[in-house]
Structure 1
């Protein structure tokens, strides 16, 4: 069995969640002993598509015509496309029509969470949908004092550190991140993620050019810097309004960095307030959570968070994907 892992626009998506998901698929399949390729010109037995552009459409049609089963990963939804790039809200209805068309032609679908699975079903798509986390490399994402010290050499700190990782979209809560920072001047806030300035709305660009004094936007940084930041941070603060899972949340959990998320449906069944993470509904609640984080109080919470990450380790994800591929091939 050989799988084509397909994703287009790699220069754009490499620094996004979809790009990270593809990297995780490669690592997971390697661990599971599944042969794969990213070269569409090679022979393959099943295709696993991650994007919804013209290239993906072409691969879908070519594979179906050749009798090769198609699995579509539902990374893109109408809900999470909105409030992202310039004109995203205007384009999103067309995106919804397109993803419905593409997802409906697949032999089977994979969603990164039960929440996303239910969204896809609500579009009227009647396909088998398996839920498989995007996963996390729990051997890589562990606290590292040496990398934390290197991080502090590059980003000198004299205040407790609060971090976020992700594309700087309105949807991901960038304005709330900065508003909380304004009201907590005794903390240093850093948001890591590709700036992609030309693709961002003007209000987001303006905020990033003139952030609160205790907020930094370094842009896209190396894995070493990210690991150092997770290791040093007092908390990982991810105030996103809409998400299909959030690989960065899994990374923070794996690192035993206290995780603070917005209380939204995607986290209902696997992140539990004061058990393995902290949840807030608004700026005042986020401020209270950050202000009250204490090393002694979080010990059990971060240990539970690590267990949650381990349940989604890439080794487990690889076996799940292998099982899905075999099932789809059997049913062709």
Structure 2
């Protein structure tokens, strides 16, 4: 089997989106599957990871040649909102564009059941849920005491540290993060990650004024580190993972923090129906509840360890080994089964 594994926007799109693509390629490498990162019709399967015009062009050509097309549904209009300047205005036309793009595929792969339910409103293209998974090797040695001291000292943090890991955007719950930090001045809060939507150099042009205002006017106990080269630094320094995101297709940073045994406090959104409140997380809805849950975990080391252990156990089904088997099985089914039974739009 040869796969054209194409990620339109590679090198520009960053964060969990890009890491998901890296995870897929790690799976293909591990299983010895021949693939190219270029869009080509010299393949048995075309796997597309971003709904751009070039991807749509190749999807149409592949369908005409009866080459099965698999589209990863990382993009939704809701997930696009509250990210950068004009994102909310663009979200409305984005939905029909994505619907058109996903309708060109023979099959869709959705990172969560919630994502599949959302995508079902876009297109009737058949879909299978396969988690983005996480690469545990990236976090090997995260619990090294010297690494912890390095990151605590670098950002002048005093344990217990409440932390977030990811792009600094409103959709991730930036306003809630800042407000809770303001109401809990006795704890240090650290947000590890890019201070701009793309991780590139056009940061202040793309970052909404409200986002800049929240960061610039955050309380003294709230630190925004910017990009860190070693992702292990975040769970090494952190004691409670604060994940107030309002919309996620899955949330890889959450899986990574849980894998490291850090207890997460998450917003109760439909994406996280698989989490068990009080066992592998604290799941809340309001700012007051965030304050209470974070205070409890910061003050009770035993409870942090209990929920952290439950979180680490839960992530076993999201390892690359586990999700890789599901992805490769889907590949086999698409390559060996009939194609072009659906009629794409346009």
| TM norm structure 1 | 0.94
Moved more, 205-214 or 313-322: 205-214
SS in 2 for 1:75: coil
- May I ask how many residue pairs the two structures share in their alignment? 327
Deviation at 1:33, TM superposition (A): 2.6
Equivalent residue for 1:280? 284
Aligned ranges for residues 1-332 of structure 1 at < 5 Å?
Answer: 1-13=1-13, 15-41=14-40, 43-123=42-122, 125-142=123-140, 143-145=142-144, 146-196=146-196, 197=203, 198-222=205-229, 224=230, 226-268=231-273, 270-293=274-297, 294-331=300-337, 332=339
Contact 2:263 2:305 in 1 (8 A): no
Q: Deviations over 1:78-132 (max 9, x none)?
A: 2111121211111111110011001111000000000010111123x21221100
Q: Provide the secondary structure at the position in 2 that maps to 1:163.
A: strand
Equivalent pair of 1:231/1:257 in contact (CA under 8 Å): no
Q: Give distance in 1, aligned partners of 2:29 and 2:309.
A: 28
Separation in structure 1 between the aligned mates of residue 293 and residue 302 of structure 2, nearest angstrom: 14
CA distance in 1, matches of 2:109, 2:40: 24
SS at the partner of 2:120? helix
Structure 1 residues 156 and 208, CA gap change in structure 2 (3 angstroms): same
In structure 1, the gaps of 5 or more residues are none
C-alpha RMSD over aligned residues: 1.6
Following superposition, the deviation at residue 324 of structure 1 comes to 0.5
CA distance in 2, matches of 1:42, 1:126: 25
Q: Secondary structure at the match of 1:105?
A: coil
Contact 2:160 2:238 in 1 (8 A): yes
Q: Runs of 4 or more off by more than 4 Å in structure 1?
A: none
Separation (CA, whole Å) in 2 of partners of 1:308 and 1:26: 24
CA contact (8 A) 1:113 1:245 kept: yes
Question: How many Å apart are 1:231 and its aligned residue?
Answer: 2.1
